[in-house]
């Protein structure tokens, strides 16, 4: 897929969602996000084996405002109000989530429910929010054009 095709895909809010991003596609996606004027935000969940540690890491890595309450409701509030980080669209790259997926699958699912709700809210405003995991293999769809 060429850069212009990837850019067109990423700018389309109807296509945004939660995906598994192959390692070999990360740099191309990040470059396209920058060209589109997106905020490209990285999260490293390497040490997150519980919902509490994952929420703490998300807040720190995403540089959430001081009012972030480190719970699922506060996560959704921050993900649906990026007034502290205005951009044409948003992309989260979540690395090293395997520990959370194995140790606390319910927490992993709860995070993804929040991500899906935030994506739906942005989509209703015609803004893209993408969430990409670098997971080696799970049930998440791989971005079809990058597989």
135: phi then psi, degrees, rounded to nearest 5? -55, 140
Closest CA to 10 of 107, 103, 92: 92
Express the helix, strand and coil content of the chain in percent, nearest 5 each: 50, 15, 35
**Which CATH number belongs to the domain containing residue 100 in this structure?**
3.30.370.10
What is the distance between the alpha carbons of residues 78 and 97, in angstroms, rounded to a whole number? 20
Q: Name the token pair of 1.
A: 């897929």
pLDDT higher than threshold 60 for residue 146: no
Distances (CA, A) of 147 to 1, 23, 26, 122: 10, 10, 11, 25
Q: What is the pLDDT of residues 83-128, one digit of tens each?
A: 878 999 999 999 999 999 999 999 999 999 999 999 999 999 999 9
Q: Which two tokens stand for residue 100?
A: 């959370």
Give the total number of structural domains in the chain: 1
Structure token pair of residue 68: 């972030």
pLDDT digits (tens, 9 = 90+) for 46-80: 999 999 999 999 999 999 999 999 999 999 999 99
Range list of β-strands (E), 7-147: 18-20, 39-44, 90-95, 129-133
Range of the domain at 16: 3-146
Confidence (pLDDT) at 143:
46
Residue 119: partners with Cβ closer than 8 Å, 6 or more residues away:
16, 17, 18, 129, 130, 131
* Short-list 55, 44, 139, 49, CA closest to 96: 44
For residue 140, name the pLDDT band (cuts at 50, 70, 90): low
pTM of the model: 0.89
């Amino acid at each position: 897929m060429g850069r212009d095709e990837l850019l067109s895909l990423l700018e389309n809010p109807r296509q945004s969602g939660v995906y598994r991003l192959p390692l070999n596609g990360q740099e191309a996606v990040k470059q396209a996000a920058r060209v589109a004027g997106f905020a490209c935000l990285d999260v490293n969940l390497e040490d997150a084996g519980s919902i509490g540690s994952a929420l703490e890491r998300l807040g720190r890595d995403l540089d959430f405002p001081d009012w972030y309450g480190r719970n699922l409701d506060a996560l959704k509030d921050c993900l649906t109000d990026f007034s502290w980080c205005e951009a044409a669209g948003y992309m989260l790259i979540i690395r090293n989530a395997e520990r959370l997926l194995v140790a606390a699958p319910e927490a992993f699912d709860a995070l993804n429910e929040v991500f899906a709700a935030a994506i739906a809210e942005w989509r209703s405003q015609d803004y893209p929010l993408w969430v990409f995991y670098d997971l080696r293999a799970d049930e998440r769809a791989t971005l079809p054009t990058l597989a």
